[in-house]
Structure 1
């Protein structure tokens, strides 16, 4: 463990709120913020779980989520801890990826995260913004420059749950994708009244009528681990088949990624769920056939849809994915959930369900001379993706080219 100190405390007799209203040049500081770098999650568990309790900290940086990821992946773990004396301020849990030219520190499991916030204590609000920016830039640079060339803080919100986020003090650029949420209003009728309720109910009745012709269906919530694991394997098969049909790579195909999601099912959080599997299962002639699956994570009153899939070889005209979302949201309305999160990525079904669009930011913090080149490249790639996605014709062209490259690679491999 290494320690790094930074002067950031308020002078005697003044509150942080008073100080935050004054220019930094008029603020003498005497005490110090200590940053320490840790490689062992276990030694931080008690403090980490205390920060988990805040609804403003993403489930994706929770102790159990990160522990499952690190167990499934063989990566270098570095956790930056910030504190003033005995008062914990934040954790930033990183894993270091070693590329051909750069070492990049990313928040753990960023590849499969819908929202990254880091872990901040409420006391972080007392730190003036300019000093917080210096702490998160100069401080993290000194703490990690021996281990990485650049820090990539991706998919971070400028504002979350109506409050400015601490990471917003750092300069960043817009992520090519936003995330989409639906505010739940206590019951299904009031919730869909925010949308086109008449159209939504009509679509649901049509789905049910078409499934009734096949013998009906059950809405399934996996309550036992064995059932959850069976539905997860069904999802892996369905998703792989659909992505292959579209000529796209299977982002869930890596053994480490699949092991991670299996581990989430086996880890339990009191009152919350790391991964809950829901499905539409046919009755009648096709008894037991699963035609739609979704995986949900819950933290307090916030539920995130982590993934979803459908079997489009049967009853595709019944819109089983839409029906599954209707039943999921209907159930959650009665379980104290305030926000249903469809996650990152702009897709028509997400827009049709959502009342909130959350803009996300990417922050590239160079740590070394080589890291400045890495940060510039990162920003250039993000901007290029944003331009491509904003142009439908160009995006379609890129997708077609990706499919051609993938087909050529498969032919060469054979």
Structure 2
């Protein structure tokens, strides 16, 4: 049986003799499980588990609370304990899909990386060892859900195996892309074609300076945060419309979710959502030509979204320029990983030296869930097959664009 490397990472330096309570390996067979419907009841345990390095910020308390409140729903929070100590938390948002109650992680498709919240002392279990866990999960969740869908889960993340990796059902259609960071920005660039990238940055800077110059804006004031976020929504909608694609940020509850995130409290360098922008000076004073929203937890920075307005100085590639500035700032602030999130795009590959394969874990809770599960797996595999076939993917994108334009 493999034990998570997090046990070693969190052990106090110089510890000898018997392991401490925090580092004694724990087994899934020891777990007692319950479901909480009031997040406040488990807030203390939630904050303790979310502080662990390898647990995704997308399952953090503020992220999940913002999603629940913006959608007006109560979460089903699965809590596992051993001897009274919370060893995992799985927050689930339950919605009806074709008459079947499907439980997903809060944030749904707007999450870039999902792990759940797990204590580092939990051993990575085999499929056989997880059978009692699955029985308990079905008993606990049957009043709430028919099928659990944990998507975009990395089975291996930053050197550690996910505790539920043996339950992986299928590979997700999307991969995610990361750039390791070093305190020295030049060392970070050395992983890429540094000479070409520096030359491109100088060219971009000259072009945008010729158009009047720019400021790298980081929204700090509450009014500025919300105004910049609304500008992003407008920019993104216009950009997607130009390509004949639906606006995935259109729903009012989705916009409210992100507005709540920019208001979430910060903890040192940790932030649920920070907005960066390129704002023009001179002739185009005040015009915002690029925006990005980033989150940070520990040494991990994730770009959640980005947009550009190419009506002014498109030859300067303001979106690329903004990424340079954000990555450079992240290096100065001792981040170790800049994450471009899910989805394969040329600009991500140009920046990233690391590609992470993500998987989906589907767990049928009731007979209804057992019926839907294979259909969802087939749909995911079909999407993956299309995305891996450039010709077919391009054709379907054109058909989708034509359908969207016709509807509009």
Q: Is TM > 0.5 for Structure 1 vs Structure 2?
A: yes
1:149 aligns with 2:146: yes
Please name the residue that 2:194 is paired with: 197
Residue of structure 2 equivalent to 1:222: 219
1:145-168 CA deviation, whole Å, 9 max, x = no partner? 222111111000101111001121
* Aligned-partner Cα distance in 2 for 1:270–1:386: 38
Deviation per residue, 1:255-310 (Å, 9 max, x gap): 00111111111111311111111011111100111100000001010000000000
How far, CA to CA, are the matches of 1:248 and 1:114 in structure 2? 20
In 2, distance between residues paired with 1:62 and 1:51?
9
1:261 maps onto 2:258 in alignment: yes
What is the rounded CA distance, in whole Å, between the counterparts of 2:53 and 2:208 in structure 1? 39
Q: CA deviation at 1:130?
A: 4.6
Task: Name the residue aligned to 1:372.
Answer: 370
Contact 1:302 1:337 in 2 (8 A): yes
Asked if structure 1 preserves the Cα contact closer than 8 Å seen for 2:26 and 2:122, the reply is no
Q: Runs of at least 4 residues of structure 1 off by over 6 A?
A: 13-20
Deviations 1:89-109 (A, max 9, x none): 100000101122311011111
Match of 2:228 among 231, 234, 237: 231
Mapped contact 1:280–1:293 kept (Cα < 8 A): yes
Per-residue CA deviation, residues 56-111 of structure 1 (Å, 9 max, x unaligned), is 11000000110111110023410110011222110000010112231101111122
Q: Name the counterpart of 2:41.
A: 43
Aligned residue among 46, 54, 57 for 1:56: 54
- Give 3-state SS (helix, strand or coil) of 1:176's partner: strand
Q: CA deviation at 1:135?
A: 4.3
Q: How many residues align?
A: 388
Is the CA contact 1:114–1:344 (under 8 Å) kept in the aligned structure 2?
yes
Secondary structure of 1:177's match?
strand
Deviation at 1:185, TM superposition (A): 1.3
Once structures 1 and 2 are overlaid, which stretch shifts more, 300-309 or 143-152? Answer: 143-152
CA distance 1:247–1:128, change in 2 (3 Å): closer
Does the aligned pair in 1 maintain the 2:176–2:343 contact within 8 Å? yes
Report whether the alignment pairs 1:111 with 2:109: yes
When normalised by structure 2's length, the TM-score is: 0.91
Q: How far 1:132 sits from its partner (Å)?
A: 5.2
Counterpart residue number, 1:4: none
C-alpha deviation, 1:198, in angstroms: 0.7
Q: Hey, what does 2:79 align to over in structure 1? A: 81
Please state whether the residue corresponding to 2:173 is helix, strand or coil. Answer: coil
Unaligned runs of 5+ in 2: 1-17
**Residue 5 of structure 1: aligned partner:** none
Cα 1:139–1:241 change in 2 (3 A) is: same
* Residues 235 and 309 in structure 2, CA contact (< 8 A), matched pair in contact too: yes
**C-alpha separation between the residues in 1 aligned to 2:25 and 2:86?**
21
